[in-house]
Structure 1
Amino acid sequence: MANHDNNDNCSLLTGQAYEICESETKDDNPCGLVAKPMRALCEKDHGISPGGGTGGGNSLTDGAADNVQKTAESLLKKINGLVAPKDSWAPKSADSALYEPFLWLGQHLAVAIFVCVVVVCGLTAWQGAPRLRQMGASTGWTLAAVASMATVPGAVMMLNKAVSAAFTAAFNSNESTLFKVIVEDIQNGADTNVPLVRLLLISALVVALIPAGLVFLTRNIGILAFVCMAPLVLASLARGGDTTAVKTWAMRLLGLLFCPFALLLVSPFVTLAHGSLVVDTVLLLAADALMLRMIFHGIPYFGPRIARGARTFVERRTDNRLAHAVVRAGAPDIYERENARRPRRIIDTPGRAAHQDRGVLLAAYGVKQQRRPGRLTTQSAVSEANRDADRRSRVRAAYGLPGQQQRNPAANGQTPATPPPPAHRRRRPTP
């Protein structure tokens, strides 16, 4: 009998039987000695492909892993599509039924302003060169404003598509981006076989859909409003080239378009998450907070109200401290001001913000607005008073205790002295 010490399972066999046994067990197949009818079931239980190799992906565990991976990729695509969609609600061309009335109004308003400037310059032509210079500037700015009005919808559409493509490329291009790292860690992560970690990641992705939906709504509504306002804002250039209102309008619109890139602040920490779904989950929750902060500070007027509404909704319906920390980081406690310069962490109300921008636009048309007196809103004033009530009472007590007996003799049973009469009622002594 030949020396078969290298194979313990086939050492007792000889001849052709040994060769068959050795061929079945040379790949460390635990089902190599099982007969043909039952070998398929054995290989299926051990995750072995029908050809004899491992990693066929037909086991129950591999099927669940594939389902989790597909679910995570689907949720990531939805989040990406909500945060930076390719299409927006704004009109795509100047002949849109929604944009055409605003374009007609803006063009006629610019022409009317130009006519008024020409009439004024004609009546004051005796002033010479200054009036001729003003009329020439008004002519150039009027032509530029009328030409720019028709290009705003197309320019905004192209810029929105460029932002969407750049955002998608930035978050899915290489291994240093958050979404790409999450997909790779689901496949090859160190804790990828822990069901609780997978469940936590899927839960974080589902929670991330809520702020992503808020971003989608506020961005699209804001872009639509600012695009429709474009003809009215650009018409103010015909008055004499005052670009203050145009700059304010452009900064608001660009803030709406580029606000998804606030999530890139998480990218420097992505390298710490390689191979760990737990770190991926923490970074995803941090991205949720940044998305809320993006709504809070990046989108004017209605952003703060939506962010605080989302925070109140979460705090009233769950006691989870982690969820509370995330929404508080995204929408912190602030006070609203109606009109005044206040310390930090105080924002303008939507009414005040709209009033300020309206004032800038009217100033471009030559209309001055009266400034309202400065004060906090009622809710902010009550919150500030409640926050500082304990400190104020303790400070008042500390200041009042040392001289309380001297200032209030009635508390010690003494009769209070009669105060002296006023100076204007005192009699002057007779000389």
Structure 2
Amino acid sequence: MSDPCDMIKGPGREYCERGNGDGPPDVPSPHGGGGGGFVGGAADSAKDMVDDFLGAIRGLIAPKDAWAPKTPDNAVYASFMWLGQHLAVAIFMSVVVVCALTAWQGAPRLKQMGASTGWTLTAVAGMASVPGAVMLLNRAVSTAFSQAFGSDEGTLFGTIREDLKNGADASNPLARFLMLCVLVVFLGIAVLVFMTRQLGILAFVCMAPLVLASLARGGDMGAVKTWAMRLLGLIFAPFALLLIAPFVPVVKGSIVMDAVLLVVADIIMLRMIFYGIPYFGPRLARAARGFVENRTDNRLVRTAVRAGVPDFYEQEDTPRHARTVMTPRRAMREDGGQLLGSYGIKIAQRPGRLTTASAVAQARREAGDRAARHEPIIQARRQARAAYNAAAGNPSSANTASRTPRPATTRPAPTPPPPTPPRTP
């Protein structure tokens, strides 16, 4: 008798041959915990897709290669470097002419000309080293990110892989599909991070000669510091995931909690992309110092804490309520103002503008603050007036007593005037 499974081709043949054996065929579990079947196969496929997504996300967040020029002889960067070098030489010649016209001032002008000479040479030499330095730094960040977030199980990506295998809800297909959905959203954010970082690094590297040329004026580091901080912020942006690293061991063992932590990581990444790094370091340092000083009287410990967190004061130059958010457009205008200021060109600062909703909210807030300030004063005046009247007695009797007429006093009658003598003719 011929085998009935001969007419079946593909994966179904193996299932048919298992069914024709001595025992019953393997029936897949309805919960996807073991065996084959649609649910179990879908769960395994979701696990494989999660692994693929994690690899793709790591490659997008911290790629090895950047779009920025790698060498100064690049066709795009060479034109910017030519412009920056000629601009630095032009600025240096202008400084020399000004110092020659004001040579009667003596040593200050000679000192200015010497500083301009040294900074011009530094700027011209630094222009050629920017592409290579950025390329090496980007590769170092990519390697460190891959090693830190790919191999270590204590990181978020390593914890997700471990929980997909041995987690408490690893056998639940719904948890795997939830993680898959969260990773799809995170993949879209990773694409946004990739585009922002690549275009930003390209723009800042190409702008480097123009920024460094401002040093020829005498070493004004304002524009260079701003440019360097923004460029380093773009390069080190992937390490924003380190902010959630302390919470990874807490949620370890649950795929659902891993998904929640991944959503938090998405929010932090978006926040740092558009608004930069939050300014909370000095506040945490001062809080730690206050915590230690309030709980110990040891002079040695207090001295050590004060040495680590010294006293410093911040100058607040913004209004008490109206605070502006550093949007990309406002940040670009501020950077442009610092760059022009390093060249000696001052631009007028535009006053802050409020939208209709912001103006209404500010008016209501000011009215509420005014009412909150005046209400205690009014209440205090009323209480003081009531206390004074109570201490003085009944106000109506006091007014009546004050209006009682005084008793009449007898006055002597006035003496009549003497008679006038008759007039003689």
User: TM (normalized to structure 2)?
Assistant: 0.67
- Corresponding residue for residue 108 of structure 1: 86
Provide the alpha-carbon RMSD of the alignment: 3.4
CA contact (8 A) 1:191 1:276 kept: yes
Find 1:186's aligned residue among 146, 151, 164: 164
Instruction: Quote the sequence identity (%).
Output: 58
CA contact (8 A) 2:19 2:25 kept: no
The superposition leaves residues 191-246 of structure 1 with CA deviations (integer Å, 9 ceiling, x where unpaired) of 11112111111111111122222212222222121111111110010111111110
- Corresponding residue for residue 283 of structure 2: none
- Corresponding residue for residue 142 of structure 1: 120
The amino acid of 1:278's aligned partner reads V
Distance 1:169 1:387, change over 3 A: farther
Deviation of the 1:370 alpha carbon: 2.5
Distance 1:57 1:141, change over 3 A: farther
Find 2:190's aligned residue among 191, 202, 212: 212
Distance 1:106 1:134, change over 3 A: same
Distance 1:81 1:387, change over 3 A: farther
Find 2:358's aligned residue among 360, 365, 381: 381
Question: How far apart in 1 are the matches of 2:337 and 2:178?
Answer: 49
Question: How far apart in 1 are the matches of 2:129 and 2:345?
Answer: 28
Q: How does 1:275-286 map to 2 (within 5 A)?
A: 275-286=253-264
- Corresponding residue for residue 248 of structure 1: 226
Larger displacement relative to structure 2 (84-93 or 379-388): 379-388
- Corresponding residue for residue 311 of structure 1: none
1:293 equivalenced with 2:271 (yes/no):
yes
Q: Secondary structure at the match of 1:241?
A: coil
Question: How far apart in 2 are the matches of 1:80 and 1:36?
Answer: 42
Q: Secondary structure at the match of 1:98?
A: helix
Q: How does 1:30-109 map to 2 (within 5 A)?
A: 38-39=20-21, 42=24, 44-45=26-27, 63-109=41-87
Q: How does 1:171-182 map to 2 (within 5 A)?
A: 171-182=149-160
User: TM (normalized to structure 1)?
Assistant: 0.66
Distance 1:41 1:122, change over 3 A: farther
Find 2:202's aligned residue among 224, 229, 240: 224
CA contact (8 A) 2:275 2:326 kept: no
The amino acid of 1:139's aligned partner reads T
Q: Secondary structure at the match of 1:76?
A: helix
CA contact (8 A) 2:274 2:327 kept: no
CA contact (8 A) 2:138 2:235 kept: yes
Larger Rg: 2
Q: What stretches of structure 2 of length at least 5 have no aligned partner?
A: 1-16, 279-316, 377-425
The amino acid of 2:79's aligned partner reads P
Q: How does 1:286-365 map to 2 (within 5 A)?
A: 286-298=264-276, 341=319, 343=321, 346-365=324-343
Q: How many residues align?
A: 321
Deviation of the 1:66 alpha carbon: 3.2
The superposition leaves residues 125-168 of structure 1 with CA deviations (integer Å, 9 ceiling, x where unpaired) of 33332222222211111011001111111211211121112112
Distance 1:75 1:345, change over 3 A: farther
- Corresponding residue for residue 121 of structure 1: 99
Question: How far apart in 2 are the matches of 1:356 and 1:219?
Answer: 20
Question: How far apart in 1 are the matches of 2:27 and 2:138?
Answer: 51
- Corresponding residue for residue 271 of structure 1: 249
Q: Secondary structure at the match of 2:268?
A: helix
